[in-house]
Amino acid sequence: MAELASRERNRLVVFALGTFHAAVLIVALVLVLYATGALTSLLSGLSTIAGLALFSALWLTTVWSTHRTLRGALTATLRTLPVGTIIERAAWNGGVNGVAFLAFLGLILAISSALNGALGIVAFGALVFATLGAVAAFLLGLVFGLLFVAIDMALITATRAILDDKKSRP
């Protein structure tokens, strides 16, 4: 019974951290687009359904990546997994997350373009997405994966320190 409760708690932690990662990525993207002046034109050409699908894809891939990175790290102590292992996982899963989101992005934009009757643009875009985009997405995901695992480990360590402190308990 205790193992089931621990597993459910770990799922909640992964869900919360993955959702936090997706929200930070969206805020960062909006700030960059706003600063460059591209936000207005992008939002005017994006339908509500496509925007929801894009956020859902980002959220899904990010929570999945967070789960794969933190698997086994949310036990009684952080020392059960070497920090190097967690960093390697974060780099790899962050990169895979970037490529997976790029694939969803390409699929969603292709469907949206096909519904609007712009099939020629879809064919050219698929070539760019499949080559240069995959490399860039992997590298960007790797960097964000490393950034987020540092934040996650700091948050988990701080939470454990607070919960282990006898004075903080009622």
In whole angstroms, what is the distance from residue 51 CA to residue 143 CA?
24
Assign 92 to helix, strand or coil. Answer: helix
In whole angstroms, what is the distance from residue 7 CA to residue 70 CA?
12
Average pLDDT of the residues in 76-91: 76
Average pLDDT of the residues in 2-16: 74
pLDDT at site 110: 79
83's enclosing H/E stretch is helix 83-116
> With helix as H, strand as E and coil as C, how does 38-81 read?
CHHHHHHCCCHHHHHHHHHHHHHHHHHHHHHHHCCCCCCCHHHC
pLDDT at site 118: 66
Task: Answer yes or no: is pLDDT of 20 > 90.
Answer: yes
Task: Answer yes or no: is pLDDT of 73 > 80.
Answer: no
Task: Answer yes or no: is pLDDT of 166 > 90.
Answer: no
Q: How far is CA 5 from CA 67, 133, 134, in A?
A: 17, 41, 39
Per-residue exposure over 124-154, b if at least 16 CB sit within 10 Å of its own CB, e if not: ebeeebeeebbeebbebbbebbeebbeebbe
108-155 pLDDT, tens digit each: 877 877 777 766 666 666 776 677 889 999 999 999 999 999 998 888
In the structure encoding, which two tokens stand for residue 77, read together? 């102590």
Higher pLDDT, 130 or 166: 130
Average pLDDT of the residues in 17-39: 93
Averaged confidence pLDDT in the chain:
83
pLDDT at site 15: 92
DSSP, res 170: -
Q: Which of 15-24, 103-112, 121-130 has the largest mean confidence?
A: 15-24
Q: Which of 44-48, 78-82, 165-169 has the largest mean confidence?
A: 44-48
pTM across the whole model: 0.81
